[in-house]
Structure 1
Amino acid sequence: MDRSNPGPRIPKLGVVGGMSEAAGSITAMNVTRTTPPRPLDVAALFPELGPLARTAIRLHPRPGSPSPRDSSVGGPLLWPADEPWPYCDEAHGLYDSSTDEEYEGPNPMVPVAQLYVRDVPLLRPPVGADLLQVLWCPWEHEPDYKPPTVLVWRSAAEVTDVLAAPPESTEGEYEGYLPVPCMLAPEQITEYPNYLELSKELQQPLKDWSRWQAADAGVDSSYAPYPEAFYSSALSDAPGWKVGGWAPWGLTDPVARFCADCGAGMVPLLTIASVEWDSGSKSWVPYEDRDLAESGNGGASSPPKVHISRTNNLQLYVCPESPDHPHTDLIQ
Structure 2
Amino acid sequence: MSRTTPPRPVDIASVFPELAPSARQAVRLHPRAGRPTVHDSSVGGPLLWPADETWPTCAKEHHNGNPPVSLDDIRRRRALLDAAWLRPREPREHLLDPGERAYFAKLQAGHPAHTEPNALLPVAQLHLRDVPGLAGPEGADLLQVLWCPLDHHNGLPAARLVRRNAASVGELLTDPPEPADVEHYGGYVPAPCVLHPEAVTEYPAPHELPEELADRLYAWGEEQEEDPEEGLGGAYYQYELSVAPGWKVGGWAPWGLCDPKPMHCDACNARYEPLFTIDSGESNGGSGSWTPLKDLEEPSGPTGLRTPADAPMVKIGRGCSMQIYVCPTSFDHPHLEVMQ
Tell me which protein shows more helix as a share of its residues.
Answer: 2
Letter in 1 for 2:250: G
SS at match of 2:297: helix
Equivalent positions of 1:167-246 (< 5 A) are 167-169=177-179, 170-209=181-220, 219-223=224-228, 227-246=233-252
Corresponding residue to 1:91 among 53, 57, 61: 61
Q: Which residue of 1 aligns with 2:327?
A: 319
The verdict on how the C-alpha distance between 1:116 and 1:253 changes in structure 2, with shifts beyond 3 A counting, is same
The verdict on how the C-alpha distance between 1:226 and 1:234 changes in structure 2, with shifts beyond 3 A counting, is closer
Q: Which residue of 2 aligns with 1:28?
A: none
Corresponding residue to 2:312 among 304, 313, 318: 304
Q: Which residue of 2 aligns with 1:272?
A: 278
Q: Which residue of 2 aligns with 1:71?
A: 41
Q: What is the CA-CA distance between 1:138 and the residue it aligns to?
A: 0.6
Q: What is the CA-CA distance between 1:125 and the residue it aligns to?
A: 0.5
Q: Which residue of 1 aligns with 2:132?
A: 121
Q: What is the CA-CA distance between 1:90 and the residue it aligns to?
A: 1.4
Q: 1:72 touches 1:115 (CA, 8 Å); kept in 2?
A: yes
Q: What is the CA-CA distance between 1:94 and the residue it aligns to?
A: 5.9
Q: Which residue of 2 aligns with 1:162?
A: 172
Q: Distance in 2 between matches of 1:39 and 1:113?
A: 31
Q: Which runs of 5+ in 2 are unaligned?
A: 71-110
With the length of structure 1 as denominator, give the TM-score of the two structures: 0.82
Letter in 2 for 1:33: R
Q: 1:247 touches 1:268 (CA, 8 Å); kept in 2?
A: yes
Q: Distance in 2 between matches of 1:226 and 1:95?
A: 40
Letter in 2 for 1:265: R
Letter in 1 for 2:53: E
Q: What is the CA-CA distance between 1:220 and the residue it aligns to?
A: 2.4
Matched, 1:50 2:20: yes
Q: 1:95 touches 1:103 (CA, 8 Å); kept in 2?
A: no
Letter in 2 for 1:65: R
SS at match of 2:162: strand
SS at match of 1:268: strand
Q: Which residue of 2 aligns with 1:252?
A: 258
Q: 2:29 touches 2:247 (CA, 8 Å); kept in 1?
A: yes
Q: Distance in 1 between matches of 2:313 and 2:202?
A: 25
Q: 2:146 touches 2:159 (CA, 8 Å); kept in 1?
A: yes
The verdict on how the C-alpha distance between 1:122 and 1:108 changes in structure 2, with shifts beyond 3 A counting, is same
Corresponding residue to 1:139 among 150, 153, 163: 150
Q: Which residue of 1 aligns with 2:101?
A: none
The verdict on how the C-alpha distance between 1:161 and 1:227 changes in structure 2, with shifts beyond 3 A counting, is same
The verdict on how the C-alpha distance between 1:313 and 1:101 changes in structure 2, with shifts beyond 3 A counting, is closer
Letter in 1 for 2:58: C
Q: What is the CA-CA distance between 1:330 and the residue it aligns to?
A: 0.2
The verdict on how the C-alpha distance between 1:256 and 1:222 changes in structure 2, with shifts beyond 3 A counting, is farther
Q: Distance in 2 between matches of 1:79 and 1:151?
A: 13
Letter in 2 for 1:221: E
Q: Distance in 2 between matches of 1:202 and 1:85?
A: 48
The verdict on how the C-alpha distance between 1:94 and 1:306 changes in structure 2, with shifts beyond 3 A counting, is closer
Q: Which residue of 1 aligns with 2:96?
A: none
Q: 1:176 touches 1:310 (CA, 8 Å); kept in 2?
A: no
Q: 1:110 touches 1:138 (CA, 8 Å); kept in 2?
A: yes
Q: Which runs of 5+ in 1 are unaligned?
A: 1-30, 214-218
**Structure 1 vs Structure 2 CA RMSD:** 2.4
